Structure 1
């Protein structure tokens, strides 16, 4: 994986098992790409401020490295993109701090009720980014600290239908054990109303939630979700997957209304 050296703002390649402690960014829109990162004038690009804020916060937290998906993955390489997506849950899980920036929330202007209604909580990719890290720190659009997922677990779980105890755990082994103890249908329900920009990503963003690896085939449409279900069947005897698929099941109905091409 590539990490940003927060002091030099240069990319360095590290194997995960040898990686120094690092912070990781969770966000909902694009930014500076891998191709743009080493170009002159990068400071003027949309998204550069997000990188500098991440690095500054990491240094404040005693971390010299950070990971930001837009610039740490060379998305022009299909092989690298596929490997990265399959590794994403693990990368978030091994981070020392995860910083989630809420671009539609302001500590000075928004209410407590507005917090869990932020766009960040409706996106597909941010589900694993909420669950996997031991520590998630939320910041508003001005970069002001809001709180951790543990501090805010009640608000989050009440509004987005996810088990509150998973959000309060601070050790990955405990998080993973509790996650895999949840039924397939329950985990599917967490993603039922979430959205992704690309159709295939509604399946790909759930790989880590189910401990599944599979190749990325963009432009396959709803077939990606069918492949995900096939892989889940290979790994578990949990029959709630089939209950979730039935037409009169509330979770399946909700998911299929949001993602009609994902029906089997």
Structure 2
């Protein structure tokens, strides 16, 4: 598995790991634009001039904010010109998403002023085939607007209510356990597909 390593100088580099020694990492889930940063763009140094470079940069910064130095972005961590590598990556993507500590979902159609939970479903990300596994496989999914503002953070009296207040929106039934803490209150992303 190829991962990006976020360096202390604010840049990142490609690293490669075998299944037995993969470090903790985050992934970016997004819709591809017209010109995405590819593996070739990373190796030839043209990435910083590209419009979509911001997505890769943000993923690295957010991963570091969450205590992770490694992150994975499909467009530039897979050599799509190598048919064998591409097939192996496609067969591994669900597992890679499942093993990620965090999945950052970039909703490029949702501006920061449109913060209601129901608005996020208007993003085209929810209509794409490849993003489904990135919604249901990871242990933790965090949604960001096109301005990179985290969407689900709302003011509540109790931390767990940040999750519980959205149960009706997602048509999820689950017991409320106020002593479990905010990180355990969020339902697993697979419930969001019901």
Higher Cα Rg: structure 1 or 2? 1
Question: Matches of 1:130 and 1:52 in 2, distance apart?
Answer: 21
Structure 1 match to 2:96: 91
The yes-or-no answer on 1:6 pairing with 2:11 is no
Question: What is the alpha-carbon root mean square deviation over aligned residues?
Answer: 2.4
Shift of the alpha carbon at 1:41? 3.2
Q: How many residues align?
A: 166
Shift of 1:154: 4.7
- Higher mean Cα deviation, 11-20 or 66-75? 11-20
Mapped to 1, the partners of 2:168 and 2:19 lie a distance apart of 32
CA distance in 1, matches of 2:115, 2:151: 11
Quote the residue 1:42 is aligned against. Answer: 47
CA contact (8 A) 2:115 2:151 kept: no
The more displaced of 57-66 and 100-109 is 100-109
Pairing 1:12-161 to 2, within 5 Å after superposition: 12-30=15-33, 31-109=36-114, 111-147=116-152, 151=163, 152=166, 154-155=168-169, 157-158=170-171
Describe the SS at the equivalent of 2:93.
Answer: helix
For residues 173 and 84 of structure 2, the distance between their equivalents in structure 1, rounded to whole angstroms, comes to 36
Give the C-alpha shift of residue 17 in structure 1.
2.9
| CA shift digits 1:30-77 (9 cap, x unpaired) | 410111112233201121110000000000000000000000000001
Q: Which protein has the bigger helix share?
A: 1
Tell me, which stretches of 5 or more residues in structure 2 are unaligned? Answer: 154-161, 175-185
Contact 2:117–2:151 under 8 Å retained in 1: no
Q: Superposed, which structure 2 residues align to 1:197-212 within 5 Å? A: none
Structure 1 residues 41 and 82: alpha-carbon distance in aligned structure 2, compared to 1, 3 A threshold: closer
Unaligned residue ranges in structure 1 (runs of 5+):
179-189, 191-264
Q: Whose relative contact order is higher, 1 or 2, with alpha carbons under 8 Å and at least 6 apart?
A: 2
2:27·2:97 contact (CA, 8 Å) conserved in 1? Answer: yes
Task: Determine helix, strand or coil for the equivalent of 1:57.
Answer: helix
Q: Give the drift of 1:147.
A: 2.4
Q: Distance in 2 between matches of 1:49 and 1:89?
A: 25
Offset at residue 108 of structure 1 (A)? 1.3
SS in structure 1 of the partner of residue 109 of structure 2: coil
Cα distance in 1 between the residues matched to 2:46 and 2:112:
32
Runs of 4+ aligned structure 1 residues displaced above 6 Å come to none
